[in-house]
Structure 1
Amino acid sequence: MAPEAMTQGGPAAGPLTLGRWTSDRAATDPSRPAIVDRGVVVSYGELEARATALAHALGEAGHGRGARIATVTGSTADQVVLLFACAKAGAMLVPLSWRLTAGELAAQLTIADPSLLLVEDDHLPVAEAALERLGGPGIPVTSLGAAGAEAHVPDASVPLGHGTPADDDGLLMLFTSGTTSEPKAVVLTHANCAWNNLALSRATPLTPEDVVLQVLPQHHVAGWNIQPLLAWWVGARVVLERTFDAGRALALIERHRITATMGVPTTYRALIQHPDFAARDLSSIRTAIVGGGMLDPRATELLAQRGVRVQQGYGLTEASPNVAICYDESDAGTAGRAYPHVDLALLVDGRVEHGPGVGELLVHGPTVFQGYFRDPEATAAAHHGPWLRTGDLVSRDAAGRIRIVDRVKDIVRSGAESIAPIEVELALLEHPAVADAAVAGVPSERWGEELVAWLVLAEPVDERALRAHLDGRIADFKHPKQYMFVESIPRTTSGKPLRRALTAAHAGEGARA
């Protein structure tokens, strides 16, 4: 069944494949700007023409329906062209992080098993090192854009010819952040993405007059499915930030009169802490979504003082990613309520509960992923019957609002108490001297586990002042037993703290001591 709202800038009926979106937009308004990439403007007509030509070339070279096309690049218009080309050809785009080491890249290439690898010149050395590790016959490699794949597509080793893409064909393969285990390859279908953007259009609609600033990387699900794809569906303009820089982002907001953007908590904190934050004109912004974690109240208030109202959201890659969002002021301080077409429940002692309570959040609906690529065991483990397990412990009230307690695996058991690190992090971030914070449990002979806080400081502060700050905000047993002052906190590309890395480093320091 096709979503009824596909008439909003997309096909009125038929398959939900995203290759139709650029065709429709080019037919109605071909000269309208679709992308601004470092000053270069790509119109909807040009986007459609380039994507159609590349889709044909991919099919002719054997990278047709069912093929996987991997990339290593920053956020570029060339990769947007490639996504829509893949959508038309029935291939799947596999955008890999340019931040990976050669070993990490080789591991993900092994899982994805692509028929073609497109690499931006800046990242060719790490890609070549990764391919050298793989050995074997090798993956055909070229660059993106007019001088690369759009001029000539290398032939596939095992050809897959032209075919008509279906709604349930994979469109995007995205690797998870790996906060609790090794990254896994999530397959999102055309239908997943179409339903996700339909839900987004209901909760935070965009119009053709909107100008979206994309600051999250295109190897992250939000780099596509929170605003950019919706913008191209309705005919809006997307300004690409190739790699995030707070000062440059503030300048782009002012210059392009940005109306909508999405970031993780660290994105917004970086904007706030930049010297230009107070001087830049941010008055054009009407929609600012935050996901990947809860934005602390202090940052939310500082943004509000500049006229930027932030909408807290919640999601995960396996859900395409949109699960919940704060619709209005009644949702403040929570992770929001379910998006349209998304069903939520709680897993409590092995039972699925549909009312208010506390438990692991479960998700069901047409946005839930097809599965982990070639990993049926991990796919099965990610589900409880038909429900997707999020791994997040939440509380849910009678109105359906959810509050994130923490990752189920991150809950610290100290003595007889259970402590959510995220609660302590948010309390610490309310101190003006704390620029960033992460909290995790480490082994304790007395308590079983005890809390350690890693802090990045904006100005000097001592432990006594931090303890005084926490008094009255959180219970004494939730206070960190140790404070570690660091230059930066390791995070995933979605902004989540890598607690495993912090605790492993802490254990190593203890062993050396």
Structure 2
Amino acid sequence: MLVSLLFPQVSRPLRCLVQDLHRCGGGLRGQKRAGCPRRGLQTTWATYSSDVTPVFTRALAFGDKIAIVDQNGEHTYRDLLGQSLCLSQEICRALECSSRDLKEERISFLCPNDASYVVAQWASWMSGGIAVPLYKKHPVQELEYVIQDSQSALVIAAEEYVGKIAPSAEKLGVPVLPLLRSHSGGSASHAAVEEGPLATCSSWKDRGAMIIYTSGTMGRPKGVLSTHENVQAVVSAGFPLQKELKV
């Protein structure tokens, strides 16, 4: 259940990433999208506490350890964090949000089963948005439905999926932000980490984290909203079983 919530359809390296990060710390319809607030979030790195915090806030504790190995190579925790920071900056520029807090605007993303999925998810959270993962094997009509129903303000698409999703996004009036393939060790992403202006919220507990859509066997798929507290609870509950099974 942990993997289906955080990283649907992904492989063992991403599950290991969640396990390592865990060791360091402990109805959609009718809702309106909130606007971008005038005041920014605090810009400090989170440290271990019992409070609810997204996993990216603890990534630097693992630094240059390998987090993911995919078809593009090895990715350290620092790589993932730096790439996510860079993408977060692009998200806020695209949506003209100088405060770097989107106040739960929805961010849809379409990525393959590799490090780009984690980067898109983390960047959405860093921007104060709610991540709405799109499934790459769904037909265009289904993807279009999710983007529209979730009231997404932006669509992030890995470069190989831009052509698939761009016409639907244009039809809906939603901008598309291409996510170019980034290799580990990029100087830009490392510079972003060194600068350290990571926006973090005073309380993540009740903030929306993800919207996952049901299979739609009893009608049209429905978006199910999970808060950061929900996500952390699933991670905490699922870790002992994963450890026992040596996943």
Which TM bucket (shorter chain)? Answer: 0.5 to 0.7
Structure 2 residue aligned with 1:15? 51
SS of 2:131's partner is strand
**Pairwise mapping of residues 299-318 of structure 1 onto structure 2 (< 5 A)?**
none
Structure 2 residue aligned with 1:103? 141
Which structure 1 segments of 5+ residues have no match?
A: 1-5, 152-161, 207-259, 261-285, 288-513
**Pairwise mapping of residues 45-444 of structure 1 onto structure 2 (< 5 A)?**
45-60=78-93, 61-62=96-97, 64-131=102-169, 133-134=171-172, 138-145=173-180, 164=201, 166-205=204-243, 286-287=246-247
Note the alpha carbon deviations across 1:390-441, whole angstroms, 9 max, x for none. xxxxxxxxxxxxxxxxxxxxxxxxxxxxxxxxxxxxxxxxxxxxxxxxxxxx
SS of 1:197's partner is helix
Measure, in 1, the Cα distance between the counterparts of 2:59 and 2:167: 40
SS of 2:243's partner is coil
Measure, in 2, the Cα distance between the counterparts of 1:46 and 1:200: 26
The list of structure 1 runs, each at least 4 consecutive aligned residues, that deviate by more than 6 angstroms after superposition, is none
Contact 2:84 / 2:120 at 8 angstroms: preserved in 1? yes
Change (3 A) 1:133 1:103: farther
Contact 1:64 / 1:163 at 8 angstroms: preserved in 2? no
The alignment of Structure 1 onto Structure 2 pairs a total of residues equal to 186
CA-based RMSD of the aligned residues comes to 2.8
Pairwise CA distance, 1:172: 1.0
Note the alpha carbon deviations across 1:250-277, whole angstroms, 9 max, x for none. xxxxxxxxxx7xxxxxxxxxxxxxxxxx
Pairwise CA distance, 1:80: 0.5
Pairwise CA distance, 1:59: 3.6
Note the alpha carbon deviations across 1:448-491, whole angstroms, 9 max, x for none. xxxxxxxxxxxxxxxxxxxxxxxxxxxxxxxxxxxxxxxxxxxx
Pairwise CA distance, 1:111: 0.5
Pairwise CA distance, 1:54: 3.0
Asked if 1:44 corresponds to 2:77, the answer is yes
Measure, in 2, the Cα distance between the counterparts of 1:13 and 1:74: 32
Contact 2:169 / 2:175 at 8 angstroms: preserved in 1? no
Measure, in 1, the Cα distance between the counterparts of 2:167 and 2:22: 46
Pairwise CA distance, 1:12: 3.7
Pairwise CA distance, 1:130: 2.1
Structure 1 residue aligned with 2:58? 24
Pairwise CA distance, 1:202: 2.8
Pairwise CA distance, 1:140: 1.0
Give the aligned residue type for 1:128.
A
Contact 1:101 / 1:126 at 8 angstroms: preserved in 2? no
Change (3 A) 1:7 1:42: closer
Measure, in 1, the Cα distance between the counterparts of 2:154 and 2:232: 25
- Identity of paired residues, percent? 23
Give the aligned residue type for 1:33.
I
Q: Which is greater in Rg?
A: 1
Change (3 A) 1:12 1:118: closer
Pairwise CA distance, 1:119: 1.7
Higher helix share: 2
Pairwise CA distance, 1:133: 4.5
Give the aligned residue type for 1:142.
L
Pairwise CA distance, 1:57: 4.1
Measure, in 2, the Cα distance between the counterparts of 1:58 and 1:128: 16
SS of 1:115's partner is strand
Give the aligned residue type for 2:174.
I
Measure, in 2, the Cα distance between the counterparts of 1:124 and 1:170: 26
Contact 1:58 / 1:64 at 8 angstroms: preserved in 2? no
Task: For CA contacts below 8 A with separation 6 or more, give which structure has more relative contact order.
Answer: 2
Structure 1 residue aligned with 2:10? none
Contact 2:88 / 2:123 at 8 angstroms: preserved in 1? yes
Pairwise CA distance, 1:14: 5.0
Pairwise CA distance, 1:163: 7.2
